[in-house]
Structure 1
Amino acid sequence: MDILFYYGLFLLLLYFLPKYVLQIKRNLPPSPALSLPIVGHLYLLKKPLHRTLAKLSARYSPILFIRLGSRPAVLVSSPSAAEECFTKNDIIFANRPRFLAGKHLGYDYTTLVWASYGHHWRNLRRIASVEILSSNRLQMFSGIRLDEVRLLCKRLFKGSNGGQYQIVDMKSMFFEMTLNVMMRMIAGKRFYEENMADLEEAKKFKEIVTETFRLSGATNIVDFIPFLKWVGLNNVEKSLVILQGKRDKFMQDLIEEHRRMRNDFASPDGSKTMINVLLSLQENEPEYYTDHVIRGMMQVMLSAGTDTSAGTMEWALSNLLNNPKTILQAQAEIDTNVGQRRLIEESDMATLPYVNGILKETLRMYPVAPVLVPHESSEECSIGGFHVPRGTMLLVNMWLIQNDPNLWEEPSKFKPERFQRPEEEIGKYMLLPFGAGRRGCPGEGLAMRIIGLALGTLIQCFEWKRVGEEMVDMSEGGGLTMPKAQPLFAMCRPRPVMTELLHQL
């Protein structure tokens, strides 16, 4: 057994050693000094990842070459380098690395998030941009967003017990509201509400969503050191296989339900769901728009559109609670431009620059993806004059770019007013919370509508304060979307001037 072990180790060294020798001869970006055999620079990485990578960039270079096990990677942490990646090298970096999550949750790398750049991906992107997330389609779904935000306000108002302050778990509130928005858009069904008739279905749905977010953010060491799979260290992969079976069945059941109801327009949402849009496309091109493609699109919309928006709202309200004067300033702006005789609507956001500044400042400090979803080079290229080999993973640390004191004045302070200056004064590649280039998030418009409407309405309708004297804990948790380490609990009560309107909900 010992002989086999040492023989295997010898073969691995033979595999990696030539790569290290070649690295010296190429004009690769600077690299941390010690890259260990097999693990490379993995030993340097600690949670939260974006802060660890920021320290490495500060110590070595804003363009840094690191080896994550068997995967070479280039870490970019400056606006100029990011611009080069998403303009000159945009097509080259339009691929995704092949992780196990993409194999199992991404239908063998065929969904919008995981597919390689090419005809299939371009068609999926077109479907998302034109058929599902176009301005006209988003406007069609505006009633759903408005309805869910007002139902949230109704819940908060009912719990106020005659206008008294109440303590509310805002993490759960935001999560449930956003999931309801997405599921009504996708399938015309709410899965979180009081007196839910089908509790079993809602319970299954919640378990699937929770497990999806947990496993999507989990680090699978086999992705970086593949030979560990041979010795049985693939527990995450087993969980991914089980989860995908549950997701598949759940989504297919929704598709079959819509097939049976294709001619039933009794439900106000039923005639314009995303499933119906995709089934209509399937009738015209059944060989392409298979149930497999439809399920993949549904799952991408659900996983990419819920946790991200809910998390951003939680960070935004946390910032407001720690800076109560900003709440008063935002309320004054809403009272002036919207008034107190009606509730805010999405169209009002164009007249609320300070409220928009709150959203942008939150996304600057706590971006949806602090390190953008990895890209991978399809051929050799250069960044900042450095050589980048084919098959190199690209990591863009947007958190560092958006919190760099050399780019932003007092970046650690919450200052919504910084976004009230002309847009041209803020560089295009200084603020990219939704990514950029071909693989930028197509759901940015939807996310900004949901977040803006919800946050604006909560500011308009309620008075907010912290549960105690201490500041809200702004520690960052682990995961792809940088959740808060501690869920947000807040105290709220109706604003007296809004009580009459809230009674009418």
Structure 2
Amino acid sequence: MSLDLFESWTALQLLVLAVLFAIAMKSRSSKSKKYPPRMGVWTIVQDLVLHKDKVPHRTFTCWAKTYGPIYSVRTGATSAVVVLSSSKAARQAMTEKHSSITAKKLTTALQVLSLDKTMVALSDYGKDHRLLKKLMVTHLLGTAPQRNNVKMREEVVQKLIGSIYSALNHCSADGRDAVNMSKILLDHVFSFALNQVIGRDVKPLYVEELGSEIVSVQDMYHLIIGDPATAALEINWRDFVPFVNRWFPNKKLHAMLKEVTRRRAAVVKALIRQERELLSSGKEAKGYLDMLLKEGEGLREKQLETAIWEPIIESTTTTHVTLVWAMFELAKNPHVQDRLFKEIEKVCGNKCVEEGDLSNLPYLKAVFYETIRRHSPLPLVPLRVVHEDVEIDGYHVPAGWQILINIYGANNYEGEWENPEEWKPERQLVFGEEDDLQRTMTFGAGKRLCAGWTQAVSIASLALARISQNFMWEMPAGHEEDYETIINTGTHKLRPLMTILTPRNV
């Protein structure tokens, strides 16, 4: 064997040994890392069964009781999904590790309905996300605009109280008729969300693309929120097998989503046209849309549409879900209802509760935070992709895996909450406001803290205080254990909240 051939053969052997050594070290390193407990390989059929009940957050929470608050699930052909069901792990992912967990992975339905991640809440971090969030905070959800909206919030709550009295006037003489509080609350909460975005009560609206006029708030709600929310629930099994979704898309689903999106966009465009006409005729600019039309010249058309639609759907959902479940729990717990009324009476006397009084009502705050703990308005945070290896609560999560934060599970984790299935406001009295935000995780944490959390607390707390100040209520027989939920824009009560109200005559 020549010297050159010998040297080449030796070099090749050394190269092979080096590669084998590197592979062995990597394998050894991989084996030494602690991975989240893994469930068995779940087929697409099982995934579909999981989603059929429309309450996947409960399923994930049940699995956490077996596998622990952090575990991984392999769904079909996609990479593993790590489910976080404790406040500690969720907070770590949202704060300390947020820079390693950025891109959001959406279902087909959410991808279409969000206009390809144009929504702030569903967009990936970048230039567009920063611009839209800055506009929303500066002109709608920040300290200054929220201070300017105090009167608007107090007026809508006063109208809400008036509507409840009006409903009672149509009840039988004995006052034992049940009132549909879900509907009354939704009408006023949605009207408020529209008002703060548009800057006025919305007039009858002619929608050119639909060839019809929208007169009722209910019709507008269904077109803007109800129908898109229902469409968002559609599960496309192809989402679990990306190459199939790419080459053989679900044409029927896409057609339905396209139609829902078209109708929603038609209404939003009509609102924009109507507002432009009013501004050109001398209307004072005071709503969020007015500010966008003045200062958002660089926005693309679909960005403008989404910038208007997003705060309407998010404000409506969070406030409505919280109020319905708070009234439900207070009806089941008359002693809590009585304690809340006595606190309000002690602080406010016979005068109507005002927003400035809320800081002096700690038990009211406890009722609010315990409600969003037990009944998280948004139970699951959309999937996020890990783009670099990260460690969460002692577990190694490789790049390419996905993170699913189970807010409902974190808020009901037995390792952090004593008897979490109980609704007990007293447990919240030991925490300060910052602790409330961190413990419940409902509004996120760190840079992922929901920009609208102060408004959600203000409008829901004020409405609940005024209702408690004016009425006592209970549920009809047989409704006390009606905990069934359905997820669309939030964890809505499956059946309407029916209550028997008695005026306090304060």
For normalisation by structure 1, the TM-score amounts to 0.84
State the shift of 1:410 in Å: 2.5
Code of the aligned partner of 1:127: L
State the shift of 1:80 in Å: 2.6
Matched with 2:63 is: 56
State the shift of 1:315 in Å: 0.5
Matched with 2:227 is: 211
Matched with 1:176 is: 187
Partners of 1:191 and 1:472 lie apart in 2 by 38
Could you say if the C-alpha distance between residues 295 and 470 of structure 1 is closer, same or farther in structure 2, counting changes exceeding 3 Å?
closer
Code of the aligned partner of 2:402: M
CA contact (8 A) 1:338 1:348 kept: yes
Could you say if the C-alpha distance between residues 225 and 405 of structure 1 is closer, same or farther in structure 2, counting changes exceeding 3 Å?
same
Could you say if the C-alpha distance between residues 388 and 22 of structure 1 is closer, same or farther in structure 2, counting changes exceeding 3 Å?
farther
Alignment of 1:105-254 (within 5 A): 105-161=113-169, 164-190=175-201, 199-200=214-215, 202=217, 204-208=219-223, 209-227=225-243, 229=245, 230-231=247-248, 233-254=250-271
Partners of 1:137 and 1:425 lie apart in 2 by 22
CA contact (8 A) 1:318 1:472 kept: no
Code of the aligned partner of 1:103: Q
Matched with 1:34 is: 40
Code of the aligned partner of 2:41: S
CA contact (8 A) 2:109 2:233 kept: no
Number of equivalences: 465
Code of the aligned partner of 2:168: S
Which stretch shows the higher mean deviation, 127-136 or 221-230? 221-230
Q: Answer yes or no: is 1:316 the counterpart of 2:323.
A: no
Could you say if the C-alpha distance between residues 252 and 426 of structure 1 is closer, same or farther in structure 2, counting changes exceeding 3 Å?
closer
Code of the aligned partner of 1:205: M
Could you say if the C-alpha distance between residues 238 and 171 of structure 1 is closer, same or farther in structure 2, counting changes exceeding 3 Å?
same
Partners of 1:206 and 1:427 lie apart in 2 by 31
Q: Deviations over 1:31-54 (max 9, x none)?
A: 444215x63973673532122111
- Select the structure that is richer in strand: 2
* Aligned-partner SS, 1:95: strand
* Aligned-partner SS, 2:499: strand
Could you say if the C-alpha distance between residues 490 and 294 of structure 1 is closer, same or farther in structure 2, counting changes exceeding 3 Å?
same
CA contact (8 A) 2:84 2:406 kept: yes
Partners of 1:391 and 1:295 lie apart in 2 by 32
Could you say if the C-alpha distance between residues 264 and 271 of structure 1 is closer, same or farther in structure 2, counting changes exceeding 3 Å?
farther
Code of the aligned partner of 1:109: K
Code of the aligned partner of 1:106: S
Q: Unaligned stretches of 5+ in structure 2?
A: 1-26, 205-212
CA contact (8 A) 2:178 2:476 kept: yes
Partners of 2:32 and 2:124 lie apart in 1 by 27
Could you say if the C-alpha distance between residues 89 and 73 of structure 1 is closer, same or farther in structure 2, counting changes exceeding 3 Å?
same
Matched with 1:331 is: 341
* Aligned-partner SS, 1:65: strand
Code of the aligned partner of 1:76: L
* Aligned-partner SS, 1:382: strand
State the shift of 1:113 in Å: 2.1
Which stretch shows the higher mean deviation, 23-32 or 120-129? 23-32
Matched with 1:383 is: 392
Partners of 1:252 and 1:425 lie apart in 2 by 39
CA contact (8 A) 2:186 2:316 kept: yes
Q: Answer yes or no: is 1:413 the counterpart of 2:422.
A: yes
Matched with 1:94 is: 102
For normalisation by structure 2, the TM-score amounts to 0.84
Partners of 2:118 and 2:434 lie apart in 1 by 39
* Aligned-partner SS, 1:434: coil
Matched with 2:18 is: none
Partners of 1:115 and 1:480 lie apart in 2 by 17
Code of the aligned partner of 1:63: I
